[in-house]
Amino acid sequence: MLSNLTELKCKRILYTMKPSRISSSVVEKLVSIVGGEHVLVSDEDRLAYAYDSQRVEFIPDAVVRPGTADDIAQIMRIANEELFPVVPRGSGTGLSGGSVASQGGVVLDLSRMNRIVEIDLGNLHAVCQPGVITATLATAVEKHGLLYPPDPGSIKVSTLGGNVAENAGGLRAIKYGVTRNYLMQVCAVVPTGEEFVSGAKTRKCVAGYDLASLLCGSEGTLAVITEITVRLVPFPRFRRSLTAVFETASAAGRAVSEIMAEGLTPATLEILDQRTIQVVEDYAHLGLPTEAGALLLAEFDGFSETAVADEAEAARAVLERSSAQQIREAQDAEERERIWEARRVALAALARVRPTTILEDVTVPLPKLSAMIERIAEIARSNSLLIGTFGHAGDGNLHPTILTDERDAEEMERVEKAIAQLFEAALELGGTVSGEHGIGFAKAPFLPKEVGENTIEIMRRIKRSLDPNNILNPGKFL
């Protein structure tokens, strides 16, 4: 059911929509590869692919749903002959406009390629097609006592292909690392249509350039990923979850740095600021302390009950030494589930406050976490904006979320100013403009500020050598 606002917006867009610029002869060629039911050119279908989870909107000329790597290779060769852009897309949960066709052309929807090809219990790896939903893989391997650790908040929707293309992080990155740390091998199709394989199903591999790592985080600009082999680890048998209440978010930030400096390795260490706590409680009624300035959520896991308990106790001691006002350990699975539910619904709860939600993704070195939190509060105050902040505090990765209304042009000017200030603050503190959501379309103007023109030029050379006609996902980050 669409909201009135969304329905009105869809009607307006459909009314003003331009016809597809893909010629009927190209449509025929595409149909001959994937079949008529997998080439979508109606206005309604094209509109459905005009968004990801960012706020930009670009209508593609067509949507094509390949079933095999060979289909993709043929589509890429046609795109190079006819010179139209091709934009790979998993589930469209990306938060930087990466899977929208900002220069028109074809959106390549990879969701049909959703088979787990193999789970190897001897070598501890899984081979997947790119459209496998991350949670589907995680659930499948858990049945065998195994863990696929990368767990972006979008785990139930996002695809492994999208995760590799964005080098997705998530709640467990602090202890287990990000998608790249689990990537063993990648099969892919370069923009000119040649298929290749990089990496091996081994624990170590230094055979030539590490092209699998190059593709990881390349945001669908260098190749279309057609098969992914990931490493699995044993599922930890014991876990302990703690919450700690703080008077201010910056005090919580300092406690995070102290926990990490103590050498502890939480599996997860997340923060919710006051606004986020309040909206989550309004939404999900979990019994959160709504007067708190901030809440830290921590989990320790492992294979020895004593070792996990010792780490949780050591964390409690650090929290007590810092200014935590209340520390509570979950007493059972139900209480633990409530704690993590609070984190999982944070974005959905914030999104109810105003019509437009803009989630940002700044990351700073751990000792600067509390300074970044203070800068976010100052940016909200000076621009008279509502910002709720939550995030993977143990990684120094914060998601300041601006709650606004895109119909208010004057407010949107302040929003744009605040976004630029957020990135400037992260860079001044030695951080990055993106910890995990990528650069895509939305953050392209800020990338040179972080990496400098020389680095941008090297990236451009890599792009040109693989994609001389600038066919694959043009207009993204470079």
Ligand X SMILES: Cc1cc2nc3c(=O)[nH]c(=O)nc-3n(C[C@H](O)[C@H](O)[C@H](O)COP(=O)(O)OP(=O)(O)OC[C@H]3O[C@@H](n4cnc5c(N)ncnc54)[C@H](O)[C@@H]3O)c2cc1C
Q: Rule CB under 6 A: choose which of 71, 166, 270, 273 binds ligand X.
A: 166
Single out the residue of 360, 340, 348 nearest to residue 269, CA to CA.
340
Q: Rule CB under 6 A: choose which of 66, 85, 94, 253 binds ligand X.
A: 94
130 binds ligand X (CB under 6 A): yes
Please say whether the beta carbons of 218 and 165 come within 8 A. yes
Mention every residue, 6+ apart, whose C-beta is less than 8 A from residue 207: 200
- What does the H/E/C string look like for 383-430? CCCEEEEEEEHHHCEEEEEEEECCCCHHHHHHHHHHHHHHHHHHHHCC
95 binds ligand X (CB under 6 A): yes
- Pick between residue 251 and residue 398 the one whose CB is nearest to ligand X: 398
99 binds ligand X (CB under 6 A): yes
- Pick between residue 33 and residue 312 the one whose CB is nearest to ligand X: 33
Please say whether the beta carbons of 297 and 394 come within 8 A. no
Distance, in Å, from the CA atom of 434 to the CA atom of 217, rounded to the nearest integer, reads: 11
Cβ neighbourhood burial of 373 (10 Å; 0-12, 13-18, 19+): buried
220 binds ligand X (CB under 6 A): yes
Q: Rule CB under 6 A: choose which of 20, 74, 102, 163 binds ligand X.
A: 163
475 binds ligand X (CB under 6 A): no
Query: x/- string (CB under 6 A) for ligand X, residues 35-54?
Result: -----------------xx-
Q: Rule CB under 6 A: choose which of 126, 225, 330, 429 binds ligand X.
A: 225
389 binds ligand X (CB under 6 A): no
Single out the residue of 203, 228, 232, 200 nearest to residue 216, CA to CA.
228
Q: Rule CB under 6 A: choose which of 33, 127, 224, 350 binds ligand X.
A: 224
Distance, in Å, from the CA atom of 94 to the CA atom of 105, rounded to the nearest integer, reads: 19
Minimal distance, residue 377 CB to ligand X, in Å? 22
Query: x/- string (CB under 6 A) for ligand X, residues 416-455?
Result: --------------------xx--x---------------
- Pick between residue 254 and residue 443 the one whose CB is nearest to ligand X: 443
298 binds ligand X (CB under 6 A): no
Single out the residue of 207, 208, 211, 183 nearest to residue 197, CA to CA.
211
Q: Rule CB under 6 A: choose which of 66, 88, 302, 474 binds ligand X.
A: 88
- Pick between residue 101 and residue 312 the one whose CB is nearest to ligand X: 101
- Pick between residue 154 and residue 257 the one whose CB is nearest to ligand X: 154
Minimal distance, residue 217 CB to ligand X, in Å? 10
219 binds ligand X (CB under 6 A): yes
- Pick between residue 106 and residue 165 the one whose CB is nearest to ligand X: 165
Query: x/- string (CB under 6 A) for ligand X, residues 240-279?
Result: ----------------------------------------
165 binds ligand X (CB under 6 A): yes
- Pick between residue 295 and residue 318 the one whose CB is nearest to ligand X: 295
Q: Which residue has the tokens 């094509």?
A: 64
In sequence order, what are the beta bridge partners of 199? 185
Distance, in Å, from the CA atom of 293 to the CA atom of 279, rounded to the nearest integer, reads: 13
- Pick between residue 254 and residue 392 the one whose CB is nearest to ligand X: 392
Single out the residue of 247, 249, 271 nearest to residue 324, CA to CA.
247
User: Considering only residues 317-376, where is the footprint of ligand X by CB under 6 A?
Assistant: 347
106 binds ligand X (CB under 6 A): no
- Number of other CB atoms surrounding residue 461 within 10 Å: 9
Single out the residue of 196, 184, 102 nearest to residue 466, CA to CA.
196
104 binds ligand X (CB under 6 A): no
400 binds ligand X (CB under 6 A): no
Please say whether the beta carbons of 132 and 117 come within 8 A. no
Distance, in Å, from the CA atom of 429 to the CA atom of 372, rounded to the nearest integer, reads: 7
User: Considering only residues 51-80, where is the footprint of ligand X by CB under 6 A?
Assistant: 52-53
Distance, in Å, from the CA atom of 40 to the CA atom of 107, rounded to the nearest integer, reads: 10
The two tokens of residue 22 are 């893909």
* Sites of contact with ligand X (CB under 6 A): 52-53, 87-95, 98-99, 110, 130, 152-154, 158-159, 161-163, 165-166, 168-170, 219-220, 224-225, 347, 436-437, 440, 473
